[in-house]
Amino acid sequence: MNIKMIAGTATLPNFYKNWLHILDELNIGAFTVDLKRNITAINHCAQGLMNLREAEVLGQDCREIFTGVPCMVSCLFQKNRHDNAHEPDILLRDEDEAEHLITRLATPIYDNTRKVIGCLTILQDHSPIIDLINRIHYEERSSKMILDNLDVGVFTVNRSGLITFFNTAAEKISGYNRSQVLGKPCALLFSGKTPSEAKMLQESVDTGEERNNLRGRIITKVGVTIPIKARYMALRNEKGAVVGGLATFHDMTLVHQYRKTVRDRYTCYDMIGKSPALQKIFQLVDVISESDATVLIEGATGTGKDLLAKVIHSASQRSGKPMVKVNCAALPDNLLESEIFGYVKGAFTGADRDKPGRFQEAEGGTIFLDEIGDLPLMLQAKLLRVIEEKEFYPLGARHILKADVRIISATNRGLEQLVAERLFREDLFYRLNVMRLELPPIKERREDLPLLIHHIFRQLCTSKTRSLPVISPKTMEILLNFDYPGNVREIENILEHALIVSKNDVIHPQHLPEYLQKRIGVLKAAKPNRYPNEKQRILEILHKNNWHKGKTALAMGINRSTLWRKMKLYKLSYEISVDPKVP
C-alpha cells in the first residue's frame, strides 16, 4: 500500500510514514501537513471518509481542503500548543451521503532534534458501531450474536450496574472470562476506588443521555491498566423504557504507545508492578518530581532505570524541555568530554566549528547520565563543578557557560564500592546521592511477573498489529518459575521470540527460546526441596492471604497447581498452624 509523497515531504520521518500504513490497516484515517499547513501525505481511509482523492489534496493548504472538517483544536504550531489535542466529535458525509461520526486527534511531528516540522491528524470513525447499536433490541438473541463478533469491547448492565452481557472482544481486552464478570458490578473493570467510567455509565442509565470518555482506563484480570476510549449509553426496551446501560470501548494501547513515542513522556503507568518495593518508588517519584534535586538510580541491567528517569522527567516542571541521555560507558574517554560539554572552534585538530555539548542541548530540562560509574575521574571533577556552581567550560573555551539542568544519573555498579576502591570521587557521589532509588531485580519481585508478562506480551502484539495469542498453562508455569537474570529486557526478548516462532493462537513451551527450555529441564531434575526456607515462605504468604490459594499463587508468581503440589509436598494445611512463625 504506497503513499505518494510530494516535493518537500522527504523530511517526514519514516516513523510517521509507517504509522500512516498501520492506521490504514486498522481502518483509521490519517493525514500529515508541514509547517506551511500544506498536506504532505494522506492514507486511503482518510480519503474515503472525506470523499477526497490523494491527487486533489497533496501540496494544498489543509484549511482550504478540509472546509467540512473545521480544526477546532488549539493550533499545534503555536507556542502554547498541546502535544496532543482532540476536539468534539464531528459528522462527515461520504460520497454516498452516508453520515460518519468522527473523533479527531492531532499531534505534532518532530524531527531528530525534537523540532516541530509538521502535524499528524488521526480520524476515527464510530458510525458503523453506533448504527448497529441503534438498530438492535435488548431482548433479541441475534443482536447479542452480532455484538459478540465485533472487534470492539461491549458489555451491558442492568439498572443496578451489574454486568448482564460481555462480548468476546471485551474478554480479550480485559482478560476476564464472561462467567467471571456476569452478575458482578461493572466497577471491578475500572481503575480507582470510585472509577469515573462506572459513574458515567450509571449517569447514562439514570438520565438516558450518552456519555463519552476519550481517556478511560480498564484494569485487566491480572491487574494491568489499559487505556481505553469508551462510549456509554442507556439501553431501552421496545417500549422505550430504560432497562440498563451499554458500554462500548476500544483498546487504545497502540495509540498510547504512539503518544509515548512522539511526546517522549512517561508516567508510573508505564512501569508495571504491585510489589511493595516498586510501589514505594512510585510514591517517591511524586515527591522527587516536585524538586530539582539530583537523583541516583541504581539497579541491575534491564530493571528499567532508563524508563524511571523518563517518568521522573515527565512528572517534573521541566517536562516541556528536553531530556538528553548520555551513556558514559558507550564513548571513549577522549571523546566523552567534548560530547558532554561541547567544544569551540580550534579546540583541537579538526574542530572547524563550535559544537554544543549535551548540557547545552538539555538547557532548561534534564540530563540523564547513564552508567555514571564508568565516568573517568578527570570528568568527574568537571561534573562536580556543574552540580555545585551551575557552570562549565566547553572544551577549549575561555568563557564560562551557565547550566540550568537537572541531573539524573544511573548505574548498575555500586557507587559506594567504587568510592571505596577510589574509582569514583566521594564528594561527587554525595552530590549525586541526594535522592536515591534502587530498582529491584525481577527475582526479588516475583509477584510482579504475571503483570509484566501480560503487559509486555500485549504491547508486543499491539505493535505488530497481531491478535493476542493465548499463553498455555504449561508455558506460563515455565515463565513464572524463571529467574530472568536479564530482568525486564530478557522478558521482552523471550516473549518476542515466542511470538515470532508461534504460527497459531497458542504459545506452547516449544515456542520459547532453546536456552530457557534447557534451563527448565535442569530445574526439573533438581530436588523439590532445594530451597530450605520455601516451606516457611509459602506458609507465611498463605497466612497473609487468609489461605486464599489463588492470591497466594499470584503473590509468589507461580501457578495455582504448582502451589497445590508444594503444599502437598510440605504437608501444609490450614489445620496445622494458625501462627505463620510455626514451621
- Grid cell listed for 399: 568563557
pLDDT at 408: 95
Chain centre distance of CA 191: 16
pLDDT at 237: 72
Could you give phi then psi for residue 144, rounded to 5 degrees? -65, -35
What span, in angstroms and rounded, lies between the C-alpha atoms of 534 and 526? 14
Per-position DSSP letters for 240-301, written without gaps between them: S-EEEEEEEEEE-HHHHHHHHHHH----GGGS---SHHHHHHHHHHHHHHTS---EEEEE-T
Complete domains list, the chain, with CATH: 14-125 (3.30.450.20), 130-255 (3.30.450.20), 265-440 (3.40.50.300), 443-525 (1.10.8.60), 534-576 (1.10.10)
pLDDT at 337: 86
Could you give phi then psi for residue 563, rounded to 5 degrees? -60, -45
Among residues 107, 103, 123, the alpha carbon closest in space to that of 29 is found at: 123
Among residues 406, 337, 409, the alpha carbon closest in space to that of 371 is found at: 409
pLDDT at 206: 87
Could you give phi then psi for residue 29, rounded to 5 degrees? -75, 150
Return the DSSP state at 478: H
Residue with cell 534491564: 302
pLDDT at 17: 62
- Grid cell listed for 216: 478511560
Buried b / exposed e over 36-72, threshold 16 CB at 10 Å, is ebbbbbbbbbbbbbbebebeebbeeebeebbeebebe
Q: What is the dihedral of CA 76, 78, 83, 85, to 10 degrees?
A: -50
pLDDT at 268: 53
Per-position DSSP letters for 79-123, written without gaps between them: TT--SSEEEEEEEEE-TT--EEEEEEEEEEEE-TTS-EEEEEEEE
pLDDT at 57: 85
pLDDT at 8: 35
Cross-strand pairs, 105? 86, 122
What span, in angstroms and rounded, lies between the C-alpha atoms of 573 and 33? 67
Buried b / exposed e over 397-409, threshold 16 CB at 10 Å, is beeebebebbbbb
Through-space distance between the first and last CA atoms of the chain, rounded to whole angstroms:
66
pLDDT at 12: 54
Is 22 in a helix, a strand, or coil?
helix
Pairing of strands 295-299, 406-411: parallel
pLDDT at 63: 73
With a cut of 70, list the residues of the chain below it in pLDDT.
1-19, 21-22, 25-27, 65-101, 112, 126-151, 191-195, 238, 254-270, 465, 519-533, 574-583
292-325 confidence digits (pLDDT tens): 899 999 998 888 898 899 889 988 888 888 899 9
Per-position DSSP letters for 361-424, written without gaps between them: HTTTSEEEEETGGGS-HHHHHHHHHHHHHSEE--BT-SS-EE---EEEEEESS-HHHHHHTTSS
Chain centre distance of CA 441: 20
pLDDT at 100: 65
pLDDT at 83: 47
- Grid cell listed for 453: 508478562
192-246 confidence digits (pLDDT tens): 555 678 888 888 888 888 888 877 888 888 777 778 888 898 888 767 778 888 8
Helix 14-25 / helix 253-263 crossing angle, nearest 10 deg? 170
Question: With contact defined as beta carbons under 8 Å apart, do 33 and 126 qualify?
Answer: no
Chain centre distance of CA 558: 25
pLDDT at 258: 53
